[in-house]
Amino acid sequence: MKRLKKAGVILLAFLMLFSMAGCNKKAEEREKPEKPAKTGDKKPAKEEPAEQVPANQNLLTGLGDLSEGAIGKRPVAVMVNNVQDALPQYGVAKADIIYEVPVEGDVTRLMAIYGDYTAMPQVCAVRSCRYYFPAFSQGYDAFYVNWGIDDSISDYLEALNLDQYDGMNNAGGLFGRDQDRINAGYSLEHTGYFDGPKFSAVVQSEGRRTDLAENKKDTAFKFNGLKEQLKPEGADCNTVNINFGAATATLTYDPETKTYLKQINGTPQMDSRSNTQLEFTNIFVLETEISVRDDIGHKNVDWDGSDTSVGYYVSNGGVQKIYWNKDSNDETSYLRFYDQESKGEIKVNRGKSYIAVNYPGQSAFK
């Protein structure tokens, strides 16, 4: 009997302990925070992946069109005759950037710059150097190609330490006279050509530096995105007319290709080898001080601009008034373009560019 009583007491104690444990568990469950209510089946927005710039990006155009051997390598700047009697030129349609600037008599000369030194075309008619052209080409760390110089600037060119190839001494065996042009009646000074396809082999055999300088591995311009083709902030612009004095340039917008087609003195400017008209995604018209400096008519050109130097950026059917400059007295600096209101550096569309450096107030945008 005593054993039964004792067993009953023990059983009762176990039941009380079990009951207390269950109460404690329920209390803990009540104290747990409730799960947040569902707000629907929306998934969090995914972040856009960073734009992948192609490894073979051409620093002059922003396009992925360099051959493998040209990645990280220096471009080539070639002086090209642009007087009426030298037309049409050839090899110029393949240039990535073309400068046009007045020379003596207010005719113009071109400097054609190519981003891929391993894929150079033959270029004709090659012409002589004027000091303000290498002042621009040095900003791209470019090889410089010409046929003759203004003798009064030889000390200046030496100080620039140009990697120069001059047709006057047939440097590298890269120059010749186009016999077909001679037969066609061109004057001798309009027949000189640069044998571009041989250039990379000559440069390498001579042991010249082909790698870009460390501070020149950025793009020539600040570019918009790979898939962006934006209109500059400003007025519509389908035609650009530039009066250099004794020569004119007209660039007309083609909305299908989103490029501007170039005319010279009212006639389409053609490349006779490719049979194509020169065309550009971007146009820059840079106004600056230009004056005559000697009896021959050689020019002084303010090539570095300033914080208040006026220019115009044209692309995709629009025109924007800008400021432009290079670092004062530093030929190796980049050419930069700035919004007149924010003073911030503008972005431009990817593609070929035409840069006119001209007298103030002699250009019209319609």
The pLDDT tens digits for 204-259 are 999 999 999 999 999 999 999 999 999 999 999 999 999 999 999 999 999 999 99
Percent of the chain with pLDDT over 90: 85
Q: Extract long-range pairs of 52-57: CB within 8 Å, 24+ residues apart.
A: 53/226, 57/219
pTM, two decimal places? 0.87
Q: What is the 8-class DSSP label of residue 152?
A: G
Stated as kind and residue range, the H or E segment containing 301 is strand 299-301
Stated as kind and residue range, the H or E segment containing 21 is helix 2-31
145: closest CA among 115, 116, 123, 118? 123
Parallel, antiparallel or unpaired: strands 259-264 and 279-280: antiparallel
- The domains of the chain are located at 68-365
pLDDT of 46 reads 62
Dist. CA 351–CA 348, nearest whole Å: 9
Dist. CA 97–CA 90, nearest whole Å: 15
Dist. CA 279–CA 282, nearest whole Å: 9
Dist. CA 112–CA 262, nearest whole Å: 14
Dist. CA 240–CA 242, nearest whole Å: 7
pLDDT band for position 50 (cuts 50, 70, 90) = confident
Average pLDDT, the chain: 90
pLDDT of 328 reads 82
> What are the φ and ψ backbone dihedral angles of 353, each rounded to 5 degrees?
-130, 145
Average of pLDDT values for 173-186? 98
Residue 271 has pLDDT above 80, yes or no: yes
159: closest CA among 330, 357, 334? 330
CATH code of the domain occupying 68-365: 3.50.90.10
199: closest CA among 269, 270, 145, 133? 145
Q: Which two tokens stand for residue 39?
A: 């707000």
pLDDT of 44 reads 57
CA 353 to chain centre: 7
Provide the Cα torsion 326, 351, 281, 127; round to 10°: 60
pLDDT of 329 reads 85
Question: For residue 119, with 0-12 CB atoms within 10 Å meaning exposed, 13-18 middle and 19 or more buried, which class applies?
Answer: middle
Residue 117 has pLDDT above 90, yes or no: yes
CA 281 to chain centre: 11
Dist. CA 241–CA 67, nearest whole Å: 35
Residue 169 has pLDDT above 90, yes or no: yes
Q: Under a CB-based contact definition with an 8 Å cutoff, are residues 268 and 341 in contact? A: no
Report which residue type is found at 234: G
CA distances in angstroms from 70 to 96, 115, 124, 137, 351, listed in the order given: 14, 8, 23, 18, 18
Residue 5 has pLDDT above 50, yes or no: no
174: closest CA among 87, 88, 76, 270? 76
Q: Which of 9-23, 204-218, 279-293 has the lowest mean pLDDT?
A: 9-23
Dist. CA 258–CA 229, nearest whole Å: 9
265 Cβ contact list (under 8 Å, min separation 6): 84, 247, 248
pLDDT band for position 47 (cuts 50, 70, 90) = low
